[in-house]
């Protein structure tokens, strides 16, 4: 069993929404019972999206990472979270070829040309059922999996879309979307890809990690082998947040090992 936590999804001030520096995470890691961090700052292509946000300068991110971690007291890895979009295929593939990462999370942030977190009302229209937006999201996730190969290792926070649906936050009703979710899980398994279990759903008030444990259990039942664990921290206070609870939920879902990536290869550890 892990004696310390390994957090594989951490954002710094290199991300547009990051609040803490790499140095601050390293200085506080032991206080959060963490002995290994994979930094995964945001890389999103904003072409065609009305926003003032800028795409991450990966070279500057790499320089900052190398400078701040060269004397780190804990193990670190250079990762990235890529916002996968069908219309950004060429730019994303070109970027990944130019850089060496230990780990890549593929996520869906901009869906159907809309940054859902920044403009939820444009995505979830008042005159459409919430299920319409959720199905659009999952359809694009499935399309991304078919388009991208070397550009991601695991799919991040698979039911992320539920954060931005209308009304109070609540878990995704898995049975309502079982068919499309199973298609996604089978596609990931066929490509040898994993899923991330992201503890941020708990602190966002949804009551479960992303994705909810029924989806994790189904991934294992279908033959999935790779599960990573991340806090999606954007500030030091959230490093490894709720990991104790999530570890218990993972064990109940049939997960016996978590993976941590180095040089794009998973290393497995009993949970």
Task: Please report, for the domain that includes residue 191, its CATH number.
Answer: 3.20.20.140
Host domain of residue 178: 5-270
pLDDT at 164 over 60: yes
Q: How far is CA 8 from the centre of its chain?
A: 9
Q: How confident is the model at residue 1 (pLDDT cuts 50, 70, 90)?
A: low
Q: Whose CA is closest to 104, among 89, 90, 83, 88?
A: 83
Report which DSSP code applies to 240: T
Q: Whose CA is closest to 247, among 199, 212, 194?
A: 199
Structurally, how many domains does the chain consist of? 1
Cis peptide before 182 (omega within 30 of 0): no
The encoded tokens of residue 235 equal 């500030």
pLDDT digits (tens, 9 = 90+) for 50-104: 899 999 999 999 999 999 999 999 999 999 999 999 999 999 999 999 999 999 9
């Amino acid at each position: 069993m892990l004696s310390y936590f390994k957090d594989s999804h951490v954002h710094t001030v290199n991300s547009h929404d990051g609040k803490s520096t790499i140095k601050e995470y390293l200085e506080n890691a032991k206080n959060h019972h963490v002995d290994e961090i994979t930094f995964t700052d945001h890389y999103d292509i904003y072409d065609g999206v009305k926003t003032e946000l800028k795409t991450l300068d990966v070279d500057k991110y790499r320089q900052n990472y190398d400078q701040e971690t060269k004397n780190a007291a804990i193990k670190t890895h250079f990762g990235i979270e890529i916002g996968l979009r069908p219309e950004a295929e060429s730019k994303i593939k070109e970027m990944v070829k130019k850089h060496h990462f230990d780990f890549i999370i593929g996520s869906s942030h901009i869906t159907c040309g809309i940054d859902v977190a920044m403009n939820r009302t444009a995505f979830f229209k008042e005159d459409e059922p919430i299920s319409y937006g959720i199905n659009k999201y999952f359809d694009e996730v499935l399309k991304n999996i078919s388009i991208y190969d070397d550009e991601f290792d695991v799919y991040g926070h698979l039911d992320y879309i539920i954060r931005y649906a209308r009304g109070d936050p609540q878990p995704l009703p898995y049975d309502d979307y079982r068919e499309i979710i199973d298609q996604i899980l089978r596609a990931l398994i066929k490509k040898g890809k994993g899923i991330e279990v992201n503890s941020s759903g708990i602190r966002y008030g949804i009551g479960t990690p992303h994705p909810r444990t029924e989806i994790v259990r189904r991934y294992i039942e279908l033959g999935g082998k790779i599960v990573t664990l991340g806090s999606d921290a954007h500030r030091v206070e959230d490093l490894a947040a709720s990991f104790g609870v999530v570890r218990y939920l993972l064990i109940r879902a049939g997960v016996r090992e978590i993976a941590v990536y180095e040089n794009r290869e998973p290393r497995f550890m009993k949970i």
